[in-house]
């Protein structure tokens, strides 16, 4: 099968997000989105000593997209204005649909703060099609044991969303998406097949890989053209990555802080709705 060519490689520079410093390969100065994916934040890896305070994001609103948390290491505690409360362990995924509006907070759990340990996660923003931007909010806590794991020589793929090689991910999505948490050993090889219309990207959390002759080091996101049946993968060293592919949403995009809509006037309305309490209330 013909492999897609590497189109762009973007390094994950650090940015401030509330009390935390996170790495951000998307968006960048030259890549606004890889539709339907519009933001990727990588927190960690960091080691936290037991019984010390750890940063937590205070209650904040979202509208018009899906914030998704992939927890690679550690434990987190989620609360939202719908009354949901989730305790995630390493390997779990939190897929939240903000829809017409939700307020949430999250951070290391009390258990993790007591125990200490390594902490690492990715938060991904997935755009919602216009027809679903004002849908009712919902929350999906996907535990590691509910997600299929595909194993090949030296590579383990945890299928979060979409269909791949006869398996189906646990997440329910509003547009066609394929998402996998991938761990690999040095020398591992595979070919990620994706539909011709899908955008595709890899974000390398750790290790070094090669795709169709191009070397990609850790903390880099690589995007691809559409001239092929999928993405060629070879691991140069042991590591892990997030694999994402999806049908692009061919609609206008307008963003402001935690709101993702189609037009500026809708952003102004989102601010009004949040300030007047229409997105609910969440105590810190």
Res 16 pLDDT > 70: yes
Residue 283 has pLDDT above 80, yes or no: no
Residues 6+ apart with CB under 8 A from 163: 169, 178
Confidence of residue 273 (pLDDT cuts 50, 70, 90): very high
Q: Which two tokens stand for residue 135?
A: 């849908």
Q: How many CA atoms lie within 13 A of 147 on its CB side?
A: 31
pLDDT in tens, 207-221: 999 999 999 999 999
Highest mean pLDDT among 9-23, 108-122, 193-207: 193-207
* Distances from the Cα of 209 to the Cα of 30, 185, 197, angstroms: 23, 10, 24
Asked if residue 181 has pLDDT above 70, the reply is yes
Question: CA gyration radius for the chain?
Answer: 18
For residues 141-161, give the mean pLDDT.
97
Cβ 43 vs Cβ 210: under 8 Å: no
How far apart (Å, rounded) are the C-alpha atoms in residues 208 and 273? 45
What integer pLDDT is reported at residue 83 of this predicted model? 92
pLDDT score recorded for residue 64: 98
Distance between CA atoms of residues 240 and 218, nearest Å: 9
Mean pLDDT of 264-269: 98
**Dihedral of alpha carbons 82, 169, 179, 110, sign:** positive
Model confidence at 95, in pLDDT bands (50, 70, 90)?
Answer: very high
pLDDT of residue 20: 82
Q: Are 48 and 108 in contact (CB under 8 A)?
A: yes
Which tokens in the block code for residue 174?
A: 């509003």
- Stretch 73-81: mean pLDDT: 95
Q: What is the pLDDT of residues 236-245, one digit of tens each?
A: 999 999 999 9
> Are the C-beta atoms of residues 101 and 270 closer than 8 Å to each other?
yes
Mean pLDDT for the stretch of residues 180-200 = 97
Q: What's the pTM value of the predicted model, to 2 decimals?
A: 0.96
> Can you give the residue ranges of every domain in the chain?
19-275
Question: Between the CA of residue 266 and those of 127, 179, 205, what are the distances in Å?
Answer: 15, 29, 35
Neighbours of 49 (CB within 10 A): 9
Q: What is the pLDDT of residue 270?
A: 98
Is 70 exceeded by the pLDDT of residue 284?
Answer: no
pLDDT at 57: 83
Contact 182, 157 (CB under 8 A): yes
When the pLDDT of each residue in the chain is averaged and rounded to a whole number, the result is 95
Phi/psi of residue 110, nearest 5 degrees: -60, -35
Euclidean distance between CA atoms 254 and 266, whole angstroms? 9
**Which pLDDT score, from 0 to 100, does residue 17 have?**
83
Confidence band, pLDDT 50/70/90 cuts, at residue 51? confident
**Percent of the chain having pLDDT more than 90?**
89
* Domain 19-275, architecture per CATH: Sandwich (2.60)
């Amino acid at each position: 099968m013909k492999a897609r060519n590497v189109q762009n490689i973007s390094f994950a520079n650090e940015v401030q997000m509330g009390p935390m410093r996170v790495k951000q390969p998307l968006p960048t100065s030259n890549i606004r989105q890889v539709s339907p994916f519009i933001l990727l934040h990588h927190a960690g890896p960091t080691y936290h000593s037991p019984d010390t305070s750890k940063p937590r994001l205070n209650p904040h609103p979202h509208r018009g997209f899906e914030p998704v948390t992939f927890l690679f290491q550690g434990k987190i505690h989620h609360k939202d204005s719908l009354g949901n409360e989730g305790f995630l362990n390493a390997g779990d995924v939190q897929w939240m649909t903000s829809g017409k509006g939700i307020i949430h907070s999250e951070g290391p759990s009390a258990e993790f703060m007591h125990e200490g340990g390594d902490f690492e996660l990715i938060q991904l923003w997935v755009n919602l099609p216009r027809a679903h931007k004002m849908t009712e909010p919902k929350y999906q806590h996907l535990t590691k044991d509910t997600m299929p794991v595909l194993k090949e020589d030296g590579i383990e793929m945890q299928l979060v969303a979409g269909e791949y090689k006869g398996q189906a991910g646990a997440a329910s999505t509003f547009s066609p998406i394929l998402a996998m948490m991938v761990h690999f050993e040095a020398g591992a090889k595979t070919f990620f097949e994706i539909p011709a219309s899908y955008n595709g990207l890899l974000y390398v959390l750790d290790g070094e890989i090669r795709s169709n002759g191009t070397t990609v080091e850790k903390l880099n996101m690589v995007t691809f053209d559409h001239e092929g049946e999928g993405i060629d993968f070879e691991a140069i060293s042991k590591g892990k990555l997030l694999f994402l592919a999806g049908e692009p949403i061919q609609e206008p995009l307008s963003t402001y802080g935690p709101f993702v809509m189609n037009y500026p006037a809708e952003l102004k309305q989102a601010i009004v709705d949040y300030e007047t309490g229409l997105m609910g209330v969440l105590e810190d």
